[in-house]
Structure 1
Amino acid sequence: MTEPVIATVRNAAKAVVLHDGRVLLQRARWDGQDCYFLPGGGQHPGEALGATVRREVHEETGLDVTPERLLWLREYIGAHHGGAPEDHRVEAIFLCRPENVPDQLGGQDEDDAQTGLEWVELEKVPGLNLLPQTLRGPIADLAHGAPPTRYLGDIA
């Protein structure tokens, strides 16, 4: 008899850091491809999501940020996308403002897949291999103002 899969839900906070019409993205090499991700990462027990996004962005980019508001809530359920059945993530994606000089980048605790950091003009985001790809349009649309907060659903 097969053992039942015990899924654990991992909460995370991601940042859309905007400055002068550009968004800060992590360049990465992941699953055999060059791509981009939003900075951010896993929530620690007892840590508020706003504190998570501040800590993770600082660790990965060296920037101190202020989370201004929640933009989107995203889930990823691995079993629905060909991934591991126990992989279930919930990501709170915050609009953030940099507090310090945004051109001085470099964190002390970069992700293993991270290959660099880049400020990208919002209108160029739809043409990038940004993962998850569903975020490309909503991020580019921020050039026209912040949309209402919304639940994006289970997206890969």
Structure 2
Amino acid sequence: MDTSITATVRNAAKAVILHDGRILLQRAHWEGQECYPLPGGGQHPGEALDVTVRREVLEETGLEVTVERLLWLREYNGAQHGGAPEDHRVEAIFRCRPDGDPNKLGGHAEDDAQTGLEWVNLEQVPAVNLFPHGLRGPIAALADGESPTRYLGDIA
């Protein structure tokens, strides 16, 4: 292990916002390609993860959401995927439902790479360029019913 690298772990909270068999995804242009990440982002010091996901979703989508439950815990270790060794993230991924009109979208603090928002049918998720790719299967499986809470490991 290279001891000259300062190791930090960034905590984040992401949202699987479901409504009428669809999931709300960000549309983004990142590293030269169109992709679809989940809404959400970094945890502030002292902030609970459920508060993080509600704040981030409101900023990026304009939706207020109710956090229903934790779906998955995901890690990303950049060194394992050809990325920067100091890029280590732990993400809590929550199932959420929109409060109010789910079609009234428009956040006030979108991510830099974000180009829009899109409701996608759960059955279509395996065909979209979802980031991280390792979430396509678990998200698509939600169309068949509830998923147990589980640790997904280090996935890209």
Return the TM-score normalized by structure 2. 0.97
Partner in structure 2 of residue 36 of structure 1: 36
1:152 aligns with 2:152: yes
Partner in structure 2 of residue 72 of structure 1: 72
Runs of 4+ in structure 1 off by over 4 angstroms are none
User: Does the residue aligned with 2:131 lie in a helix, a strand or coil?
Assistant: coil
The whole-number CA distance in structure 2 between the counterparts of 1:106 and 1:146 is 28
1:116 aligns with 2:116: yes
Q: What percent identity do the matched residue pairs reach?
A: 76
User: Does the residue aligned with 1:141 lie in a helix, a strand or coil?
Assistant: helix
Q: Which runs of 5+ in 1 are unaligned?
A: none
How far apart are 1:146 and its partner, in Å?
Answer: 1.5
User: Does the residue aligned with 1:52 lie in a helix, a strand or coil?
Assistant: helix
Partner in structure 2 of residue 60 of structure 1: 60
Partner in structure 2 of residue 47 of structure 1: 47
The count of aligned residue pairs is 155
Amino acid in the other structure paired with 1:134: G
Amino acid in the other structure paired with 1:56: E
Partner in structure 2 of residue 82 of structure 1: 82
| Superposed counterparts of 1:122-137, under 5 Å | 122-137=122-137
The whole-number CA distance in structure 2 between the counterparts of 1:74 and 1:137 is 14
The whole-number CA distance in structure 1 between the counterparts of 2:3 and 2:74 is 29
How far apart are 1:56 and its partner, in Å?
Answer: 0.2
Q: Which runs of 5+ in 2 are unaligned?
A: none
User: Does the residue aligned with 1:106 lie in a helix, a strand or coil?
Assistant: coil
Return the TM-score normalized by structure 1. 0.97
Amino acid in the other structure paired with 1:10: R
Partner in structure 1 of residue 96 of structure 2: 96
Q: Deviations over 1:108-137 (max 9, x none)?
A: 000000000000000000000001111011
The whole-number CA distance in structure 2 between the counterparts of 1:3 and 1:64 is 43
The whole-number CA distance in structure 2 between the counterparts of 1:80 and 1:119 is 31
